[in-house]
Structure 1
Amino acid sequence: MNKEQLKRMGSGEGFIAALDQSGGSTPKALKAYGVPETAYSTDDEMFTLVHEMRTRVIKSPSFTSEYILGAILFENTMDRLIDDKYTADFLWEEKGIIPFLKVDKGLAEEAEGVQIMKPMPDLDQLLKRAVDHHVFGTKMRSVIKEANKEGIKKVVDQQFEVAMQIVKAGLMPIIEPEVDVYSEDKVESEELLKAEIKSHLDQLDEDTQVMLKLTIPTNAGLYTEFSEHPNVLRVVALSGGYSREEANEKLSKNKGLIASFSRALSQDLSADQTEEEFDKHLSDAIKSIYEASIAPK
């Protein structure tokens, strides 16, 4: 693991840009960007278009390490080039931004009020490729829709089991058990989730660290203690469907949390914008998310 990246991720100011839309969410991301499904007819054409979108974001003058600590990539993006460099190398060598990789294969059908991750039989091979591409860490997402204690336990058990596989490969895992922001019992789900996460953290070896990516809690400060836990490198927050303004407002009240936003970062970007317009919208988004991430809590 790159020690310079480890130090920066642990103590640097800024946030993580989530640029990891996968096969299932790419059409929606392209549509929001102003590229209709009629613009492509194959998966390869679709992924080429989304890589062009991500490249435009990454190469933008406002996308800098002054505000951004890391960026989460989709596997297809990791395998592609930006200016003759693989994306992870371009991020770190040209931008000083730490590369992460989304490794999950999507969500299983809902059961017991949650969606655990689908099986990942080829994870070891993917992790090896990530190391070869100089990726620092990984991200994997589950979803909690109801305050079902057994379901939430299954989510956290699976997340930590896979996380230890990732640690063994020499990478930093971001554990993401997302609580649906529209859940009717979101507060209770968050309390159950917190207890399960704490139980697992307290069982880790003292030299094992993970990162957590959590829905911004309804009760501000709920996860602050995790940012102070010796086994947690950083706690980041997802925007979860909130608008950027709402996500920033909620994030700014939570000590120890920094952003890892996707839709809230890109919501004002469009394919038909001039480079000047595009960079202005992206710059405004980046600066506002940065300010919410470093705001006194």
Structure 2
Amino acid sequence: MIAEMDARMRSAEGFIAALDQSGGSTPGALAAYGIPQTAYHDDDGMFALMHDMRARVITAPAFSRTRILAAILFERTMEETVLGQPVPTYLWRTRGIVPVLKVDKGLLAESDGVRLMKPITGLEDLLARAAELGVFGTKMRSVVNLASPSGISAIVKQQFELARTIVGHGLMPIIEPEVLVASPQKAGAEAALVAELTRNLDELTDGVDVMLKVTIPETPDLYAGLAAHPRVARVVALSGGYERTDACTRLARNHGMIASFSRALLDDLRVSMDDATFDATLAEAIDEIYRASTVKE
């Protein structure tokens, strides 16, 4: 099973659906979906509504392996069920979609132009549970705001240290050092990030592979060399706040890079839609993102 997932993630056509909104981003995601904060009164109610939304997405006919390679899940989603099956089991066995788990616990305050990840308490137990449930890999996010070589070095070092732990549990780490699209030094930060990622990748031993999730760069094909690196299974792009059409236009200029979109995938969905309208709206977004991931300029 893992070998089949690995082959699919490395070479199949399609893109990754990021369905991993967590505590801080969930109210905004629900509001965009048409559910105000007055509809729930505590975290349990909020996450139950979020799970209903995610379940509606992953069970929709348009959400299929013909376009979707993988889905990134929040920890609580991984532990939930869909149609009587654990979510990772449903995704892989029923839909042929690879399950991936978000493992970071949020970010520290900005320092030296970057935001490091908070300590991930209970990581070993979480990884063991993910492997038990049939999860293929993990994702963890840091943020770059300024072109600070020392700051960028610090977040890449943190990411790669955790990646080695993740690989030790038989899981594929997706390293996500997000350069903010609003950064006043975006192009410079991206150039520094490429250099630091390359240095750390070159230090990995055989058998330790990672995926990279990065912001769509200002310079097209900036990450093409990393996509060809022997220790990189795949390079994927986050939408980073770009509207879907803009994100897809930018993505199509970058060879060897596929999407891992969240808001750009889900923004047009509304709780009030009937099932046919919901699926048609989702299908339109999926088709546009798929084209940008597979048909390059």
Q: Partner of 2:107 in structure 1?
A: 107
**Partners of 1:166 and 1:207 in 2: CA distance:** 13
Q: Superposed, which structure 2 residues align to 1:244-255 within 5 Å? A: 244-255=244-255
**Partners of 1:206 and 1:296 in 2: CA distance:** 31
**Partners of 1:267 and 1:209 in 2: CA distance:** 32
Q: Partner of 2:268 in structure 1?
A: 268
Superposed displacement of residue 208, structure 1: 1.3
**Partners of 1:134 and 1:41 in 2: CA distance:** 33
Superposed displacement of residue 207, structure 1: 1.7
Q: Partner of 1:129 in structure 2?
A: 129
Superposed displacement of residue 121, structure 1: 2.3
**Partners of 1:288 and 1:266 in 2: CA distance:** 12
Which residue identity lines up with residue 286 of structure 2 in the other structure? I
Superposed displacement of residue 295, structure 1: 1.1
**Partners of 1:152 and 1:228 in 2: CA distance:** 22
Percent of aligned pairs with the same amino acid: 54
Q: Superposed, which structure 2 residues align to 1:278-293 within 5 Å? A: 278-293=278-293
Which residue identity lines up with residue 111 of structure 1 in the other structure? S
**Partners of 2:296 and 2:289 in 1: CA distance:** 14
Superposed displacement of residue 261, structure 1: 0.1
Q: Partner of 2:42 in structure 1?
A: 42
**Partners of 1:29 and 1:296 in 2: CA distance:** 30
Which residue identity lines up with residue 187 of structure 1 in the other structure? A
**Partners of 1:185 and 1:10 in 2: CA distance:** 31
Deviations 1:262-287 (A, max 9, x none): 00000100000111111111000000
Root-mean-square deviation (CA, aligned residues, Å) is: 0.7
Does residue 230 of structure 2 align to residue 227 of structure 1?
A: no
**Partners of 1:250 and 1:296 in 2: CA distance:** 10
Q: Superposed, which structure 2 residues align to 1:27-66 within 5 Å? A: 27-66=27-66
Deviations 1:65-106 (A, max 9, x none): 000000000000000000110000000011000000000000
Which residue identity lines up with residue 91 of structure 2 in the other structure? L
SS in 2 for 1:22: coil
Deviations 1:212-269 (A, max 9, x none): 0000000000000111111000000000000000000000000000000000000100
Q: Partner of 1:159 in structure 2?
A: 159
Which residue identity lines up with residue 293 of structure 2 in the other structure? S
Structure 1 runs not aligned, ≥5 long: none
Deviations 1:174-225 (A, max 9, x none): 0000000011110000000000000000011122110000000000000001
Superposed displacement of residue 32, structure 1: 0.6
**Partners of 1:156 and 1:208 in 2: CA distance:** 16
Which residue identity lines up with residue 84 of structure 2 in the other structure? D
Q: Partner of 1:90 in structure 2?
A: 90
Number of equivalenced pairs = 297
Which residue identity lines up with residue 145 of structure 1 in the other structure? N
Q: Partner of 1:146 in structure 2?
A: 146
**Partners of 1:4 and 1:142 in 2: CA distance:** 29
**Partners of 1:124 and 1:236 in 2: CA distance:** 25
Which residue identity lines up with residue 248 of structure 1 in the other structure? C
Q: Partner of 2:217 in structure 1?
A: 217
Q: Partner of 1:25 in structure 2?
A: 25
Structure 2 runs not aligned, ≥5 long: none
Superposed displacement of residue 59, structure 1: 0.3
Which residue identity lines up with residue 75 of structure 1 in the other structure? E
